[in-house]
Structure 1
Amino acid sequence: MSKLGDYTILPIAIPPSSAFPKPATHTLYLRPHAPKIPTDNDSRSLFVVNVPMDSTPAHFKAVFVSLIGAGRFESITFEHENRPSRAPNSEIDVAVKKGKKRKRMTNEETIEVDVELPPVWDRELRRSGSTALVVFVDQKSVELALKAVRKLHKSHAKPGKWPIWGEGVEDKVPALGSARYLTHHKMRYPGHAMLQANIDTFMTDWNKREEEKTRLTKKQRNVPDEDGFITVTRGGRTGPARIEDAEAKRLEKEEKERRKLEGLSEKPFYRFQLREIRKAEQAELVKRFEEDKARLLRMKEKRGRFKPER
């Protein structure tokens, strides 16, 4: 059986080892990559299911080289990885450093500093049954890979004819088993130079953040708030706000309150506010009418009666 639903079945031969002295077969499931959100590399990518636990880019490169030849495999991204892992031409750089964040507490806030911690494992293992995304140089390479797998199924290939897992990469990847844990034990205690470089990086970043924090604190000491007061900060004493600044802030606050009240009267929200506004407008009109009427009477008394000339 060469297919299972949309997946093409690719058996790979697992050679005997000290942990399991008999040959075994592991099955990979391949299909063209078709995510819900398309990307530029979908047409030249293969989605792989049931990735072996000891997978590395070099292992997958060797598998596809045995199927379609060299020069067509570009990169692979394993599950939970953010960037593609490229298979190098020579040895694999196993001392990959991963960026971490350390939190250092202060009395006022928590500051996060980015540092690079020394690695403690020389090789990453995959979750059982995990997935990966293989990227080729072009779409034709994807078609050739699937075609090569189907061709092996049609020829009724024996287990020895399937791609052999790890063939040709023995000297390019770190060893597993007890050697892996011995290396892990040594890497847990890095040398003085590596520790010093890690500490220097941490302290340099920390000092930069502290200097920025100090600069902002000094700036706040001379800027009064809206009530005319200056924020009390740690690291020194400062005098009260100047009278001119405090008075300017007070006038600015009163102006904001006045505009707020005017905006409320211009755009009333409740019905009783509308009634009050209408009553006030009517009272203002009556008041102005009475004032105008009284002013006309005073003018008439002052000028006397008008006598036209004959």
Structure 2
Amino acid sequence: YVSKKKKKSIILSTNSSPPISFPAIPIKFSEKQQASHYLYVRAHSVREGTKSTWPRKRTLFVLNVPPYCTEECLSCLLSSCGPVQSMELQDKPDLAESLKEPRSKFFHPKPVPGFQVAYVVFQKPGGVSAALALKGPLLVSTESHPVKTGIQKWIRDYADSVPDPEALRVEVDTFMEAYDQKIAEEETKAKEEEGVPDEEGWVKVTRRGRRPVLPRTEAASLRVLERERRKRARKELLNFYAWQHRESKMEHLAQLRKKFEEDKQRIELLRAQRKFRPY
């Protein structure tokens, strides 16, 4: 038994109406496809006084982007609205509107395939208003810009997964230069703040005066680990039972007594040899 209110909520949730204030743009994969897929678009905006990665009045926020629609395909679909400056696909919208570091195609995992959202930045603000007025349907795969599927898509994905060594080297060098510069700035700032009392009169003390520890090589680390393993194995086998512990103590005491008697005899012999004997 389902109540009338529950039935009504089920019917409303299954309705495929677009979200509020999101104009719908119908798209098709190709001319052969009869049914249309809908992209929901809106001018990207944030609250007053909030920093955003995306420029205001030039950014279009797109929902319900299908998996086969790549950044290149979406740029081609919206190219009639105006020149596109940048494009970024994401799994979900940015909740925290803060500045982000640039993405890397080598060291960031690929997004999970599925429906995504997109942030499209136009060179002029008129591109956003033109995109909101699009009627469609727009074709994703055309003769001039075909979208690869099946084996061709797998071959392209495999080719894209193999990085270019020169491009990888350039990106690593650029990252390391920025990282070294950041560390140098932090050290300079720490030196300037060291010894200077703050507002409450506290002085910051750092560990700068400590002697730097030389990094261990791999061979030295392996030797240390092997030595620790042997020591641990010896400790585990030694005096495992209480009677073994007692016997080891008794043997140690017996060895000390024997050594004491030997030392006594040696001292007596030395004394006997030092006596004065004129005849």
Fold shared by both chains (TM-score > 0.5) = no
Q: TM-score range by the shorter chain?
A: 0.3 to 0.5
User: Which has the larger strand fraction?
Assistant: 1
Structure-1-length-normalised TM-score: 0.38
Structure-2-length-normalised TM-score: 0.42
